[in-house]
Amino acid sequence: MDRTPKIRTYSSWYSTLFFMSSMVHSCSNIGVSAMYHTYISRPLFVEVDQIYHLACPASPIFYKYNSVKTIKTNVIGTLNMLGLAKRLRARILFTSTSEVYGDPLEHPQKETYWGNVNPIGVRSCYDEGKRMAETLMFDYYRQYGIEIRIARIFNTYGQRMNIDDGRVGSNFIAQAIRNEPLTVQLPGTQTRSVCYVSDLVDGLNQLMEGTDAGPINLGNPGEFTMKELAKAVQELINPEVQISEVENTPDDPPQRKPDITKAKEVLGWEPKVNLHEGIPLMEDDFRQRLGVPRT
Ligand SMILES: O=C(O)[C@H]1O[C@H](OP(=O)(O)OP(=O)(O)OC[C@H]2O[C@@H](n3ccc(=O)[nH]c3=O)[C@H](O)[C@@H]2O)[C@H](O)[C@@H](O)[C@@H]1O
């Protein structure tokens, strides 16, 4: 008898295809297939043992494009996934975000920090949507005993990312390859801590298989300003490319850095790929898809 586990992943088109395709890739030796459930805000009738609820889009451009759908995905979509977990008694992992900390008054951010979030801003559909989804996860755990896992993901980059995703990593790398100016949004001193996607996928799998419900921060504590990130991409990919300063969008958090003490203690997880290793890996993938070989 074929005892190979068969895994199916479901995603709406309005979802985080980057994580889904990365997870499918990391499990390709155990028979994974991807399917699309077009309306995350409608119930999904499948038989599964574990649910990775990765929705909604994480790129600010995409989640702001249809903010009502973003919040529906976070609230109604999470209720549907929790209903599925309840019917099947399945374990469910939800990918929350560093954005639950908003404009953080604590640095670096620990899981015990409750955040400083604008409830009525243009990013609120995402920030507050993810916060509500975390609340739903814990209410289903307390009320129905559902086995939950919550990851708070800090900025992720890497292979298979949508080239036109709009986030800083994909923008800078595509711009450097195309020899277009790297667009540093003002003031450029805002910081992010970027984690390579293979590290993140390992962290998610370890969280799912572990015993702690979370929330657990998953991210790389290496912190850079956006000007420093642009310089690193310039140095590694295209020393001739220009760096330009452009307007920013409202409520951009000025700093973000995960405290990953809990991930280390509870999961034995920490990232392995640093920025200077990750950028060339992503560059290879982007060059192949853009059809621009190294010269
Ligand atoms: O990548 C992620 O995982 C994160 O992406 C977004 O958060 P954000 O940090 O705002 O993502 P970006 O759009 O990549 O912006 C990061 C920083 O780069 C800057 N940026 C962005 C794009 C660009 O071309 N140039 C540039 O300087 C932005 O102003 C911001 O300060 C999501 O909102 C997060 O929840 C998610 O965790």
Domains of the chain: 7-290 (3.40.50.720)
Statement: residue 250 has pLDDT above 80: yes
Distance 278 CA to ligand 1 centre (A): 17
Query: Hunting for tokens 């409830």 — which residue is that?
Result: 119
Q: Which residues are catalytic?
A: 126
Residues 187-238 have pLDDT tens digits of 999 999 999 999 999 999 999 999 999 999 999 999 999 999 999 999 999 9
State in Å: Cα 2 to ligand 1 middle. 44
Pairing of strands 32-36, 7-11: parallel
What tens digit of pLDDT does each residue of 32-50 get?
555 556 666 677 778 888 8
Q: What residue owns the CA closest to ligand 1's atom 25?
A: 184
State the closest ligand 1 atom to the C-alpha of 188, by its place in the atom list counted from 1. 27
C-alpha to C-alpha distances, 153 to 81, 143, 184, 218, 226, nearest whole angstrom: 19, 26, 23, 5, 19
Residue type, 69: K
- Ligand 1 atom closest to Cα of residue 60: 33
Residues 95-115 have a mean pLDDT of 95
Q: Looking at this predicted complex, what is its ipTM?
A: 0.93
Mean pLDDT value across the chain: 89
pLDDT digits (tens, 9 = 90+) for 145-191: 999 999 999 999 999 999 988 999 999 999 999 999 999 999 999 99
- The burial of 172, by beta-carbon neighbours within 10 Å (0-12 exposed, 13-18 middle, 19 or more buried), is given as buried
160 C-alpha vs ligand 1 centroid, how far in Å? 17
Residue with tokens 């969008």: 249
Cα distances from 198 to residues 4, 50, 179, 234, 282, in angstroms, run 23, 20, 27, 23, 11
- Taking CA atoms only, the protein residue closest to ligand 1 atom 22 is 168
Question: In this structure, what DSSP letter does residue 278 have?
Answer: H
Query: Which of 56, 126, 168 has most ligand 1 atoms within 8 Å of its beta carbon, as the pocket-test mutant?
Result: 168
Structural tokens at position 165: 């995703």
Q: How many helices (H) and strands (E) does the chain have?
A: 10, 12
* Ligand 1 environment, Cβ below 6 A: 58, 60, 97-99, 126, 153, 155-156, 167-168, 171, 183-185, 190, 192, 226, 248, 252
DSSP assignment, residue 140? H
State residue 165's pLDDT score: 87
What is the distance in A from the centroid of ligand 1 to the CA of 167?
5
At 87, the pLDDT band (50, 70, 90 cuts) reads: very high
